[in-house]
Amino acid sequence: MSEFNNEIWFVGAEMAPLVKAGGLGDVMGSLPKVLLKSGMNVRVVIPYYKNIIPKNFIDIKEVYPAGKVNFGEIPFEFGIKTGFAMGDIPIVLVEQNHFFNREDVYGSHGGVCAYKDNLWRYAMLAHGTAYAMRILGIPLIVHTHDWSGGLVPAVIKQTFGDKKVRIEGEAEGVLNAKLGRRINVKGLRPAIVFTIHNLGYQGVYGIDDFYDIGLDFKYNSSSAYEHFGTFNGLKGGMKLSDVVTTVSPTYAGEITTPEFGFGLDGELKSLGNNGRLKGILNGIDLDYWNPKTDGLISYNLNLKEDKYNLKNYNEWKDFKLKNKKALFSALSMPIETGNNGNVLPLIGIVSRLTEEKGINEFLDALFNWNDFPFQVVILGSGRDYIEGKANYLSKIYRDKVYAMTGSYDEALSHKIYAAADIFAMPSKFEPCGLSQMIAMRYGCVIAAGDTGGLHDTVSDIMDSGVKNPSGILIDRINPDGIAWALNELYNRYMADGDEWRNLVVNSANKQFGWDDSAKVYESLYYDILK
């Protein structure tokens, strides 16, 4: 018999709005909140990035004696602190200044220039997590995320054993926060859920590095982290977990194919065949991303209703125009009009600037287009050549294109969502994508790649079977395909008739919150405890 707490521990590298590099941060911040609200006992474990976590967001209650781990010959001490994030989310902070007290989460330029010691940094997170369990009690479930959380399953197993906890009889309700803190159950280690947010980042290192991260050598095997002679953090994470989820149903299918599988499609296919791979759509925090109350935008949406239609469309038009004027004035951009006197549509982009996002092809579409009829605001950081291309475009089309590259700017991102008419997200693959969900919440019409979560969330105006279209989906991402899609939206915007207005209100009505998916996670947690 072991003693467990009836808790679920989320483990990951980011947690918005404390610390965020991308969509993983949004999920780590919003899903636990919803599960807590529904009565579950959740804690979030993240590294203590002292430099980047705003002090007023965390409230540290307890500091525990330091733990120790050997990385090869070198001993490292680390601290454990517990408290609350944003007032009410229980957190565990793994403190190790050498590894975590830095300027960025994964490295500069949105992680493109990754820190060379990320493997050691996230091994530290895994060891810190297991140590915190020894101090605070073992949770029933560990829900760990992405390759940076991919070392957690091995450390849990080497610490608590291979045998998974099991609740005899009905598991339902056992994770309820109101239940007594400790429960006796059969088994030795927590059940492990692993979520893949992006298969494109696998944490691949030389196999020799295996011996320096405090993992049992038995995990240097193709049934764990070894992958064709390399160390692969994501592979081991999924092989050693009880169930693997990914962040949209379409992506769950795509990653079992060679085109999207990044070399792990075979592994994922067999997980799927065994019923151990599930696609659960992410949601966004509808309270945080709310055009009616958002404190970071210049004008809030002035509507009482939660359902939008052609009757209240004018409020949306007003909302867009006012926010556009405020944004343009802040960016010193003039508002341009087209031949019929209508203000040109504003295309917004808030994105990591990496190959997969298709922004390079988007920029080429504009370069190839003689006098393109849009204004564009781009916020993003990533690859040098894409940043450079965006900056060059904004230099030669000073009045039409504004590019803010190389920086992460939460406030500006909100202002772009609020002001843009069209939100462009021409991703070549997109596990789920949160930016399009946020953009729809702020009444943007979407131009997106027809892939992964974009396929699951954007209703395509070109699909005659779709009832309430919210954008346009592009089959193949290349400059011509993107130009075609933008032109289709441009024509509808300029006509300013019911077709465009419906696109705006349909988008705003989509509202991708967490409620449905949180329920799916709840039942998954109970299923693996049985």
Which residue ranges make up the site for ligand ADP (CB under 6 A)?
22-23, 26, 198, 350-352, 379-381, 408-410, 413, 432-435, 438
Torsion angle (degrees, nearest 10) of CA 98, 101, 107, 111: 130
Least distance (Å) between residue 30 CB and ligand ADP: 10
Least distance (Å) between residue 294 CB and ligand ADP: 13
Q: How far apart are CA 457 and CA 251, in angstroms?
A: 12
Residue the block writes with tokens 């830095």: 102
Q: How far apart are CA 229 and CA 207, in angstroms?
A: 6
Least distance (Å) between residue 354 CB and ligand ADP: 8
What number of CA atoms fall less than 13 Å from residue 81's CA on the CB side? 16
Cβ pair 451, 430 in contact under 8 A? yes
Cβ pair 84, 69 in contact under 8 A? no
Q: In the bound complex, which residue of the shown chain has the CB atom lying closest to ligand ADP?
A: 23
Q: How many CB atoms lie within 10 A of CB 138?
A: 24
Nearer to ligand ADP, 91 or 390 (CB): 390
Q: How far apart are CA 81 and CA 58, in angstroms?
A: 11
Nearest Cα residue to 12 out of 255, 286, 196: 196
Residue 259, SS3? Answer: coil
Least distance (Å) between residue 106 CB and ligand ADP: 11
Nearer to ligand ADP, 34 or 138 (CB): 34
Least distance (Å) between residue 454 CB and ligand ADP: 9
Q: How far apart are CA 160 and CA 54, in angstroms?
A: 34
Least distance (Å) between residue 52 CB and ligand ADP: 13
Nearer to ligand ADP, 9 or 512 (CB): 512
- Tokens for 315, please give them: 């409020």
Least distance (Å) between residue 63 CB and ligand ADP: 32
First-to-last alpha carbon distance for the chain, in angstroms, is 16
Cis amide linkage into residue 17, ω under 30° from 0: yes
Residue 16, SS3? Answer: coil
Nearer to ligand ADP, 331 or 495 (CB): 331
Helices (H), 276-383: 313-331, 359-368
Nearer to ligand ADP, 155 or 284 (CB): 284
Least distance (Å) between residue 254 CB and ligand ADP: 15
What pairs with residue 15 in β-bridges? 19
Nearer to ligand ADP, 153 or 358 (CB): 358
Q: How far apart are CA 505 and CA 151, in angstroms?
A: 44
Least distance (Å) between residue 250 CB and ligand ADP: 14
Nearer to ligand ADP, 6 or 435 (CB): 435
Cβ pair 352, 425 in contact under 8 A? no
Residue the block writes with tokens 């904004």: 394
Nearer to ligand ADP, 13 or 155 (CB): 13
Nearer to ligand ADP, 27 or 69 (CB): 27
Question: Phi first, then psi: what are they for 266, rounded to 5°?
Answer: -65, -45
Nearer to ligand ADP, 44 or 284 (CB): 284
Least distance (Å) between residue 453 CB and ligand ADP: 8
Size of the chain in residues: 530
- Tokens for 212, please give them: 């320096």
Least distance (Å) between residue 518 CB and ligand ADP: 17
- Tokens for 500, please give them: 């465009």
Nearer to ligand ADP, 214 or 433 (CB): 433
